[in-house]
Amino acid sequence: MELTDLYKGYAKHYLAVDCVIFGYEDYELKLLLHRRLFEPQKGGWSLMGGFCGNDETLEMAAIRVLEHTTGLKDIYLEQVQAFSEVDRDPAARVVSVAFYALIRIDQHDAEKVKNNGAQWWPVNEIPSLIFDHQEIVRKAKERLQMKASLELVGKELLPDKFTLMQLRRLYEAIYQRELDPGNFRKKVLSLNVLEKTNTKNTTESKKGAFNYRFRDDSDQINGQERVIKL
């Protein structure tokens, strides 16, 4: 039996990607959503996504969706998992592989986002989503929290220079809980990933707080196996 004959005996399915696009603004972790433009569930709030092309890998398809939506390239992207419930899409059998992305809201193309009918939502205030997208978001948040527990995140979401309070507030937004300022400061500085600059941010107090930035070799340091207990 030829290999092609073997394949003919099985059903064909659609392969798609869904992108959970996280951003950070005004001390809130935010999610980019848009109104679905076609049936089923036309007009419902949806993640950004699309089908995987014949000449694309899953990663290539996700990168295409992200660039089309935000105008950005070289976005941090991490696979979450596959979602394959038989009835997840009422129109056809669609297997979707979800990715989460981290972007700087101040660097994205706001006009392109608007033209795509997309809108930023605080992650704890998102509306009801189509299909199983609520579950996809939940899994993506868990994966982001896992990443934040294994390495210091922030480079993809914060300005190049930031205070330790701003970094702590980012972590509080990711974990959705308050963190002890003293313990947080002690822990993150012990990782040797950040370096203090000679500039201060005076918006937080009259005295001002020193700005920090990620070291040039922070990716290699962050890649070392560790657990950040906060």
- The per-residue pLDDT string of the chain (230 residues; one tens digit each, 9 = 90 and over) reads 566 788 888 888 999 999 999 999 999 999 999 999 899 999 999 999 999 999 999 999 999 999 999 998 889 999 999 999 999 999 999 999 999 999 999 888 888 888 888 999 999 999 999 999 999 999 999 999 999 999 999 999 999 999 999 999 999 999 999 999 999 999 999 999 999 999 999 887 778 899 999 998 766 566 555 566 66
Residue type at position 208: G
pTM above the 0.85 mark?
yes
Q: How far apart are CA 122 and CA 172, in angstroms?
A: 13
Q: Encode 178-193: b = buried (16+ Cβ within 10 Å), e = exposed.
A: eeeeeebeeebeeeeb
Please answer whether residues 210 and 202 qualify as being in contact, where contact means their C-beta atoms are separated by less than 8 angstroms: no
Please answer whether residues 133 and 52 qualify as being in contact, where contact means their C-beta atoms are separated by less than 8 angstroms: no
Please answer whether residues 69 and 132 qualify as being in contact, where contact means their C-beta atoms are separated by less than 8 angstroms: no
* Secondary element (H or E) of residue 83: strand 76-83
